[in-house]
Structure 1
């Protein structure tokens, strides 16, 4: 009986030590550091073409604001294209081949003078 209880305790401790179901590695917090309000934020896989996008925003994402983007099990791969449409600026911006599995936060940046995009991964 003593060995049985010891075994049960060991099993209980191992179950308690197991990590809970982790969030998808691609889930990411997007921080708008572009200087513009964003009305559209879309992600698509590089092999999907550049014309298939879904807006991940429920409302306009103001400059310096952030939003959390969750991926579905149906989505595959770590590398994604990201498209942004500005609220009051008629040019879409595209970040290509961003590996979301290597970050938890993505700070989007844009220089309208040079039309240069960049991001800071955290």
Structure 2
């Protein structure tokens, strides 16, 4: 990944935005999801924070990394009564990152992220 990758990383993905409309409040744990890395790069950090929060909190991958093609099951133990979350991944290779806002984790059970080398964009798709 290069500097142009960082500059061109998509901060908000239109397809994800359509899926990310916040619903009603959820009970803790309803926001659990699987994250599939289809970027071609290793993800070193994953942050999940309540939407519009100014604090990313801790890396939910901990000491683990998520290699290309791998999936991580993200379990919530937080006491947040919200469906809208912001996601951020940080790549191991160069510490570049991609972010998505207002992801409705009450309606999604899986999130796949992809990197398009031709466009330089990282995108996310919910299922």
In structure 2, what is the equivalent of residue 54 of structure 1? 58
Q: Which has the higher helix share?
A: 1
Q: Does 1:115 align with 2:120?
A: yes
Q: Which residue of 1 aligns with 2:13?
A: none
Q: Structure 1 pair 115/44, CA: closer, same or farther in 2 (3 Å)?
A: farther
Asked which structure has the greater CA Rg, the reply is 1
Unaligned ranges ≥5, structure 1 = 1-21
Change (3 A) 1:41 1:73: closer
Give the alignment partner of residue 39 of structure 1, picking from 21, 41, 44: 44
Provide TM-score, normalisation by structure 1: 0.72
CA RMSD of aligned residues (A): 2.0
Number of aligned positions between the proteins: 100
Is structure 2 residue 94 aligned with structure 1 residue 92? no
1:113 is displaced (CA, Å) by 4.3
Go from structure 1 to structure 2 and tell me whether the alpha carbon gap of 1:55 and 1:109 turns closer, same or farther (over 3 Å shift). Answer: same
Matched, 1:78 2:76: no
Larger RCO (CA under 8 A, 6+ residues apart): 2
